[in-house]
Amino acid sequence: MARYLGKETPRVDGIAKVTGQAKYAAEFQLPNLAYGFLVLSTVAKGRITRVDTAEAEGSPGVVRVFTHLNAGRLGKAGASPDGWAWPLQTDRVFFSGQPVALVVAESYEQARHAARLVRLDYQAEPHQTDLAAVLDRARLDPKSGKPGPRGDAQGALRTAAVKVEAEYRIPIEHHNPMEPHAAIAHWEGEQLTLFDKTQEVYGVRQHLAEAFGVPANKVRVVSPFVGGAFGASLKPNYYPSLTAMAARALRRPVKVVYTRTQMFTGHGYRPETIQKVALAAGRDGRLQAMVHQAFHNTSSFDTFSDSTTQFTRQVYACPNLDAPLKVAATDLATPTWMRAPGAVSGMFALESAMDELAYALGMDPLALRLANYAETDPDSGKPFSSKALRECYRLGAEKFGWSRRTPEPRSMRDGRLLVGWGMASSVWGAMQMPASARVSYRSDGTARVGSATSDIGPGTYTVMTMIAAEFLGTRLEQVQFELGDTRQPKAPAQGGSWTTSSVGSAVRGAALAVTGRLLAMAQRQAGSPLAGATAAQVELMDGRLRLKADPSRSIAVGPLMQAAGLDQVTETFEAKPSAERQKYTSLAHGAQFVEVKVDPDLGTVKVTRVIEVSACGRILNPLASHSQEIGGVVWGIGMALEEATEVDHRYGRIVNANLQHYHVPVNADIHAIETIFVEEDDAIVNPLGVKGMGELGMVGIPAAIANAVYHATGRRVRELPITPEKLL
């Protein structure tokens, strides 16, 4: 029986966070620190024709003003002289809000003031920031297009008894984490130390090594706490190289922190999406064809794809399918991954279309999904390593009271309010990436565990401490887990919901390797109670190595190590996906049931009740897991009803780059949310049997809300967010 895994466990870093002991990137203290403030371009495309920094440089406290004319070189010599691979390397402007100068001063306030005194003239060129205007330029995304169509979708569409066709749109959306992006750079000779807000310290290290042409081992990146990211810090953003360039030139530490407005062009965003979906079915509801064509924008200087249609291929049993994604260049900054990238956008369109098909058939939306339930992966034909989606549907419908739903739109009321019930399915990959961890087990029974992963909020410190304590047989407080430093063993970025499966498997492996080392030491003793035992037959528990089948056969580890002259035993372990995984498809699934209440006079929508049921393998820490799923629902509510980055295409400029006008959910928007887990016993997916959940919890929510709004009002809103003017 598990000692910790599966038990509700409060955050081990909780006290540090609420008392301010947890240090974020901008909070590290270094002597003689200078402060940088960014100047951003005011045109969307063109060239800088004149730079006047005289007034700024004469301003009190200013140390230097860096522009493309005097900035240190970044990247390989001659690399893309007309491109934008690195900041302040060219006079070309590729998007409004591109960094064009960095003012460094003795204080933040002095740098900010002087930044307003930098004068730049531009030769503007015609720009295009509207995706709809450049669809003819869109190019097939090679990754999404690689599998190609399945069967003959167009032929099946022509002959089907029932079909629906619709277009769905999602605006650009921006991550708005509480912690703004920041870096502090410090050089000692050729050795660079950088404190950064990042989801992958090794990725930033490699980025900086390339920027300055130094060996990667000369760069240390430190990021112990991240105040929210969910994709905004997956790629190395432009500010770490800029901060390190300034610090090198000035021979003193430099700090750069984004303002909230600068974050809107400083770290990427969820791209704008236009999706055209056509579904065809027989009278029995069985799908005969699915065509899901998606378009989204990227920048003019970088290709980015969020694989919008990827999961469409694997959700429902359908013989004929075509799901191409095309990407079009616009004169905006490059998009990036944002919680449930691709999946939540693609499933909004697909699950809305499935609801439209249910109405066209006169069929219950849940019954339609069950009629097309995929028992095996429709794309590869492989069996699922586990799939409890059917149970998610059953449990969610039961808890929600779905059977009491009357199917006609506008048929349910609460006084004068229109009541709508909607549902959707969700899916996300159950991935594992190569990851390493180091475990040092000390003779006093305590342990130090490390891996260069991140904790952007899901509770990585806690779950890794739990895994280590479970397999080392210690108490939680005897384990010190450390992360976010390139001095620790390499780990993948914290993204894709793969951290626990990847890093957790490495921590487990390292702990078991320590057990194996101790067993070998024990078996060298004459008359050992563990003679003949294999590593799989023994376990560590409270400072003793014992036989699982007979705990009375044990040996105290402390004296054993002391006799060998050891204070600690250290093992580093790299966990990799097993070859067995290749024979299966591994996905996490879920079902969402949503109630909305709509004011028919004002067009306001309240999400009053959500039941979310997730099947994502084994749940290691239910307390944190429920919190993750609730967070996903809240983000889904924001996406469905509030979030939109508004671009004035005349100027190619974002006009609501602040939290006053970029709306996100607040407490008053959130009502009853219940999250339920259907645990799966999956020995294939990874040694811990876990699947990621951080993104899964969001995937079906916008579609479920849109479907509920249609049920309430009879109005189908196919463009997010669903705002009052779209319902009036």
Distances, alpha carbon 382 to alpha carbons 291, 314, 581, in Å: 22, 11, 11
Dihedral, CA of residue 657, residue 661, residue 665 and residue 669, to nearest 10: 180
Q: What is the secondary structure of 220-268 as a DSSP string?
A: EEE-S--S--TTTTTS--SHHHHHHHHHHHHTS-EEEE--HHHHHHHS-
Dihedral sign of CA atoms 198, 202, 206, 212 in order: positive
3 state DSSP class of 539: strand
Q: In what order do the strands lie in the sheet with 544-547?
A: 538-541, 544-547, 554-556
Helix (H/G/I), strand (E/B), else coil: 671: coil
Q: Can 695 be counted among the known catalytic residues?
A: yes
Pairing assessment for the beta strands 435-442 and 447-450 based on DSSP bridges:
antiparallel
Beta-ladder partners of 555: 545
The pair of structure tokens assigned to 432 is 């594992």
C-alpha 13/C-alpha 460 separation (Å) is 10
How far apart, in whole angstroms, are the C-alpha atoms of residue 6 and residue 474? 16
Structure letter (DSSP) for residue 181: P
Stretch (H or E) spanning 605: strand 605-615
Closest by Cα among 95, 53, 45 to 71: 53
Among 90, 101, 93, which residue's Cα sits nearest to residue 52? 101
Options 55, 408, 695, 719, the catalytic residue: 695
The secondary structure of 392-453 as a DSSP string is HHHHHHHHHTGGG---STT-EEETTEEEEEEEEEEEEE-----EEEEEEEETTS-EEEE-S-
Integer Cα distance of 614 and 306 in angstroms: 23
CB 48 within 8 A of CB 89: no
* β-pair type (587-598, 417-429): antiparallel
Q: Are 301 and 83 in contact (CB under 8 A)?
A: yes
Helix crossing, 499-523 with 460-472: angle to 10°?
20
**Is the distance from CB of 517 to CB of 568 less than 8 angstroms?**
no
Q: Which two three-digit tokens encode residue 576?
A: 């990799």
- Residue of 608, 588, 600 lying closest to 704 (CA atoms): 608
Report the catalytic residues.
695
